[in-house]
Structure formats: C-alpha cells, structure tokens
Amino acid sequence: MNDTTEAVLHFLGVQGTLVAALVHLWVGVPLLAVYLPRLEFFDPRGYLFVPSALLLLVVVAGLYFDRAVRPLLALGVLVLLGYVAGYVWWHLGDHGGTVPGGHSHGSPVSLVVEHFVDDPLAFFTIVVELVGAGSLAGLLVGGYGRQSE
C-alpha cells in the first residue's frame, strides 16, 4: 500500500472511530445516568454504548501512539460493525420491546431503511461507522502496523 492511501485510510479510520465513539457516549451517558442508579435494564443501550465507546477511544489512542496497532485495528472494525449490526437488530426487535405496540411496517428491510432515513443522527452515525470500519479494515488487510523484517 502506498503512503498516500495509507494516510487517507488512517485519517478516515481514526476520524470515523472517534466520531462514532463520541456519538455513542453522547447518547449512552444520559441513558446510563437514568438507569444505572435504579439498577434497571429497561433500555440496554446505555450499558452497551458507554463501555464500547470507551473501548473505541482506547483504539483511537493506541493508533495515535502507534501501540499494538493490528489488534486495535481489528477491535475497532469489530466494534464499529457491531454498532451497525446492533442498529439493525434493535429495530428488527421492536426496540427491545421498549416501544409500546411495536412496528406495523411491511418487510424487515423497509423497517430498517425507514428508521435509517427518518433519523438524521442514525443516518450520519451509520455512515461514519461504515467508513471507519472500512478504513480500518483496509489498513488491516493492507498490512498497516506489521513489523518490517
């Protein structure tokens, strides 16, 4: 991989990972602040978003300081793709049962697409997560962080 491609992928990967982490902290911390003192698990997003976002911040810091790069790239890809899969699962599962009455949409695809298009934050976040995961995966496949012999 040439230096320009590597630099662009590194920039996009770090930025995508950082933005995804900050959005998930922004959404998750208020939820955690509501449910944690009561030890309630009605809405699990706070319990999932905050630790995973902190993990992504560790990934960003590790990439910045060039420490354990390849495992961190893989971890970043897994967490970012986990967010995308979790978004789909959350909406196909009627928001974990937290929305009274459930959904009345036709197909599962139309359900996810409708939620994706109707919520600008979700649209932005999913795009950022996919760009970040794709960039980190590109670095991983391209051999970034591998010790030169």
Strands (E), the chain: none
Q: Which residue has the higher pLDDT, 118 or 50?
A: 50
In this predicted structure, which of 1-10, 48-57, 94-103 has the lowest mean pLDDT? 94-103
**What is the Cα 93 distance to its own chain's centre?**
19
Whether 51 is covered by a domain: the verdict is yes
Burial of 117 (0-12, 13-18, 19+ CB in 10 A): exposed
Whether 44 is covered by a domain: the verdict is yes
Whether 92 is covered by a domain: the verdict is no
Whether 91 is covered by a domain: the verdict is no
Tens digits of residue pLDDT in 92-126 = 776 665 555 556 667 777 777 787 788 899 899 99
Whether 96 is covered by a domain: the verdict is no
Q: What is the mean pLDDT of residues 33-47?
A: 85
Domain holding 40, by residue range, is 3-84+129-141
Going by pLDDT thresholds of 50, 70 and 90, the confidence category of residue 65 is: confident
Task: List the structure tokens of 4.
Answer: 């320009």
Whether 113 is covered by a domain: the verdict is no
State residue 39 phi and psi, 5-degree precision.
Answer: 55, 40
- Number of domains the chain contains: 1
pLDDT at position 148, please? 52
Whether 62 is covered by a domain: the verdict is yes
Average pLDDT over the chain reads 87
Whether 100 is covered by a domain: the verdict is no
pLDDT at position 149, please? 37
**Which residues, at least 6 apart from 14, have a Cβ–Cβ distance to it below 8 Å?**
60, 63, 64
**Which residues, at least 6 apart from 77, have a Cβ–Cβ distance to it below 8 Å?**
133, 136, 137, 140
Instruction: Read off the DSSP letter of residue 93.
Output: T
Q: What is the mean pLDDT of residues 53-73?
A: 91
